[in-house]
Amino acid sequence: MIECADTPICLRATILQYFGEPAVRERCESCGNCRPGAIDACERELVRKILRGIADAGERYGRNRIIAMLTGKVGDLPPSLTKASTVGALRHEAPDTLRDWIQVSIAAGLVAVSQDQYRTLRLTETGSHDRSGRGARSTVDKTSATITILRGAALSPRSCARVR
C-alpha cells in the first residue's frame, strides 16, 4: 500500500491495476498525481462562499469590507453588509488567506474589480455560475503569474483552515 501511495503515476490506475481491472486508462486526469495541486472540496467551498459573499453584498464593496463581512467582523460595516446571509461564513479563515483567494479568483476570471476609486468587486459570468456550484468547477493555479481556469481542480494559495 505504501508503494501505491508513493507512486508518481496515476493513483486511480495504480489501484485499479492492483485489483485486476483490465481496462485501465494510463491517466485519469483527476487524481493528485495526474493533476498536482488540485484543490479539495473544502477549498472549493471556500471559494464558493467568497463568491456568495460578494453577491450577497450586492457587488458594491471592495476586498476589505467583503473580508470583514465573511470573517464576522461587522463593527465598522454598513448595515446592509451586517445582514447578509454570509456574515461570518468564513470566520475560521485568516483575512490574509481570504485576500489571497480573492486575488486568485480575480486572476482566474471569477471576480472582476471596478476601475474606479472604490475598487468594488463583482462576479463575472463564470463566477456567477461557480458561486452556486451549477457551473463547471473552476481551477486556479497560483504557482504562476498568470492564473488560468481549467475545468476540474486547482492549486490553492494556502490550505483550507480546519475547524476543530
Q: Is the pLDDT of residue 154 over 50?
A: no
> Is the whole model's pTM more than 0.75, yes or no?
no
pLDDT level of residue 131 (50, 70, 90 thresholds): low
Residue range(s) of every CATH 1.10.10.10 domain in the chain: 41-151
| pLDDT: which is higher, 65 or 164 | 65
Nearest to 110 by CA among 144, 141, 149, 146: 149
| For the ranges 14-18, 132-136, 141-145, the one whose mean pLDDT is highest | 14-18
**pLDDT of amino acid 97:** 94
Nearest to 25 by CA among 38, 12, 8: 12
Cβ atoms < 10 Å from Cβ of 26: 8
Q: Which CATH class is domain 41-151?
A: mainly alpha
> Which residues of 8-155 form beta strands (DSSP E)?
111-113, 121-123, 138-139, 150-151
What average pLDDT does the structure give for the chain?
79
| Distance from C-alpha of 7 to C-alpha of 34, rounded to nearest angstrom | 11
